[in-house]
Structure 1
Amino acid sequence: MDSTTHKLYHVHGMDPRSYLDIYFSNKEDMVFAEDSLKFPMAMIHYQLSTGRAEGTFLIGISLGSIIHHLYFTSKFFKKIVLLKFQEKCIMELNRWLYDRTGAYDWSHTSSAAAELEGTRDQLQEKEMLLRSSIMQILRCDFEQENISSPVLLPLADCIISASILEVISKNEDEYMKNLEKTIKLLKPGGQLLLIAVLDTTYWSAEAEWFHCFKCNEEFVKNAFGKVGLVIDYCAVQRRRNVSDLTDYKAMLFIVGCKGE
């Protein structure tokens, strides 16, 4: 596939509902569940339930308007701020946040979260608790030194970055700059929980093709070391589906602690 025709997500934008339907829905033809839903949810549940990350304030930065990876965070972090690149994604998230007509149905993921915790009788509470913890949804811009500008956020105890750095970075230098800007929002001693797709060059949403910076596990680990993140945990899951909508080879979950 000709990479010169690929759009840049943070420049050209995309339809957030189409992205959710393709990669995160409960539809029968949605083949990405093992990688896009189950893997990140299991990894974050493990990280938080074992006491490996804690605090009061968490920042979430992710591609599109996903929320499933955040279910477990509201039990440990009372204040959550989400950073998004598109107004369309903010609008989509606000429909869910305020339980408005037409909001995306995440019930299949709240069920999965309940199964991980062994609390299937508390399905509705999962989304309600998460909604109550989200303080703000803000537009972000990695062209700015402060990516949440003009809002100056307090430093976070934890940041969850989901499938975003490889999408907004055109090369190694940009990846490093974007990683550095991300951890500027993190307290000394705080943790970055990074979910990434490995060895990817493209992904698709609603017949549009988007760029992805091709990086592997070794590159990400080295990047963490260069910016002063001490790796606390790392897991890789090889791709478990067949689809020509994207060419990633594996999913990565890696945790880095910022030096004091």
Structure 2
Amino acid sequence: MDPSPYKLYHEDDFDSRQYLQSYFSDNPDRISEEDSLIFPIENLLKTFSEGRIKGDVLIDLSPGSMVHHLFAACEFFKHIIVLKMRDSCIMELKRWVDERTGAFDWSHATQFHANIEENRDLLQDKEGKVRSALQHVLKCDLEKEDIMDPIVLPPADCVLSFVLLDAISKDQDDYMRYLRKFSSLLKPGGHMILIGGLGMTYYTIGEHKFHGFTYDEDFARKTLVGEGFIIDRCVIKKRMDVNEHTDYKAMMFIAAHRET
């Protein structure tokens, strides 16, 4: 039996553009700029700037067609590989990468980066750097044992996932199973970064409600440790603006590395 009456990101119709407009746009009606845009940007910049997480390849597994969380990564990784479960999300993201007419405007996120780093020069070249690093946007199948079969990817120095586990996991077993598949993409000693919403049961896109996996910090920590990770940073930010669009209680940022 399904755990909730809501739709599932990877099984039901999902409007990628409306998702971006609702949670990540510069529209004043968007849902929580502080949590969806500023929180991940600040924590990724701080984590990457410490210099321990860097290398040749970063693999991103995140829902929709968001790209703002990759702006910090382009300074520390030569190649960014984005994996998506849905063709519509791939098309939406490639529209931005190729600078095609009608692509989603991420200039407000670039501005946030410039403000945080106090470097206005970022406004000129940040998006170009991301496009240059983001060479591959590929489809994956998370139900396969090897989610990229028959494609062989280079082992990643870092796997980054922004709320995808929250969207696709029906229960704790799902969360652990998918995290194990994410981890299989890492090289020995590689890093995992998870950004998620704690205590969530649903999120909305337009008139549709989608399932959100409910978990807490303790569960996320224990799951990572159980998969052989050592946690290097964990930041929890309590949600301040309450509305009917989604019911998460706090945002979580975890950076960890795998024991060699």
TM range (shorter): over 0.9
Residue matched to 1:247:
247
Matched, 1:172 2:165: no
The 1:3–1:189 alpha-carbon spacing in structure 2 relative to 1, beyond 3 Å, is closer
SS of equivalent to 2:136 = strand
CA deviations 1:178-224 (Å, max 9, x no partner) are 00000000111110011011000111112111111100000000000
**Structure 2 unmatched runs, 5+:** none
Residue matched to 1:63:
63
Aligned AA for 2:18? S
> Mean alpha-carbon deviation: is it higher for 121-130 or for 16-25?
121-130
Which runs of structure 1 show a deviation greater than 6 angstroms over 4 or more consecutive aligned residues?
none
Matched, 1:119 2:105: no
Residue matched to 1:19:
19
Alpha carbon RMSD of aligned pairs, Å?
Answer: 1.2
Equivalent-residue separation in structure 2 for 1:157 and 1:57 (angstroms): 6
Aligned AA for 1:134? L
CA deviations 1:166-188 (Å, max 9, x no partner) are 21111111111100000000111
Residue matched to 1:99:
99
CA deviations 1:147-183 (Å, max 9, x no partner) are 1222111110001111011211111111111000000
Shift of 1:52: 2.7
TM-score (normalizing by structure 2): 0.97
Aligned length: 259
Equivalent-residue separation in structure 1 for 2:122 and 2:184 (angstroms): 36
Matched, 1:83 2:86: no
Aligned AA for 2:6? H
Equivalent-residue separation in structure 2 for 1:148 and 1:257 (angstroms): 22
Aligned AA for 1:99? E
Equivalent-residue separation in structure 2 for 1:215 and 1:251 (angstroms): 11
Shift of 1:3: 6.3
Equivalent-residue separation in structure 2 for 1:123 and 1:210 (angstroms): 34
Q: Is the 8 A contact 1:31 1:242 kept in 2?
A: no
CA deviations 1:4-45 (Å, max 9, x no partner) are 420110111400010011101111112410000000000000
Aligned pairs (5 A) from 1:155-194: 155-194=155-194
TM-score (normalizing by structure 1): 0.97
Equivalent-residue separation in structure 1 for 2:203 and 2:91 (angstroms): 23
Aligned AA for 2:9? Y
Shift of 1:116: 1.8
Residue matched to 1:132:
132
